[in-house]
Amino acid sequence: MRPDATAGSASFNEAELLRRAREVRSRAYVPYSGFRVGAVVVTADGQWFEGVNVENASYRLTSCAEQTAITRMVAEGGRSEIVAVATVGDGTDPCTPCGACRQTIFEFGPDAVVYASGDGGKPLIVTMSELLPHAFGPKRLSQGYET
């Protein structure tokens, strides 16, 4: 089943979402792996937040693109639930979020749709429940997420 590109009150164009993730990827800081990733999150109120991976000589301190986009969302006052996430990485295979990013996406968008792509081919389009079955997270309020 292919998720709809209209979630909550936000609607978005799948091609534009992936284009922006592909474009922002060029700003990644990856002196160690050389593997660039760009991410865009879309919230239910229609806001878009971009992020890139930022590496560090201590690999443990590296920030993933999805984490960067979500941190930016929170830092800029975004409190609406995430409805979509696009991740685009170097290479031809879809670049899916890592386990830590899956948990973070779930925290702010348990029903989000993930569009994962590489440089070529069709994107992998999956729901968070498909990416992270049996996930756990905070209680949800009727509007926004609990802080």
Does 76 participate in catalysis according to the annotation?
no
- Reported in sequence order, the residue ranges of 15-130 that DSSP labels E, i.e. its strands, are 37-43, 48-52, 82-89, 113-117, 124-127
Residue 91 domain-assigned (yes or no): yes
Residue 139 domain-assigned (yes or no): no
Residue 15 domain-assigned (yes or no): yes
48-56 own/partner pairs: CB under 8 Å, 24+ apart: 48/12, 48/20, 49/73, 49/76, 49/78, 50/20, 50/21, 50/24, 51/24, 52/24, 52/25, 52/27, 52/28, 53/28, 53/29, 54/28, 54/29, 55/29, 55/30, 55/31
Model confidence, pTM: 0.86
90 near 119, Cβ under 8 Å?
A: yes
Residue 144 domain-assigned (yes or no): no
Number of domains in the chain: 1
- The per-residue pLDDT string of the chain (147 residues; one tens digit each, 9 = 90 and over) reads 344 455 445 678 999 999 999 999 999 999 999 999 999 999 999 999 999 999 999 988 999 999 999 999 999 999 899 999 999 999 999 999 999 999 999 999 999 999 999 988 789 999 999 999 988 887 654 445 554
The C-alpha angle 25, 90, 16, rounded to 5 degrees, equals 50
Residue 52 domain-assigned (yes or no): yes
Residue 82, domain CATH: 3.40.140.10
Q: Which of 16, 50, 55, 66 is catalytic?
A: 66
Supply the range of the domain harboring residue 103.
Answer: 6-131
Residue 92 domain-assigned (yes or no): yes
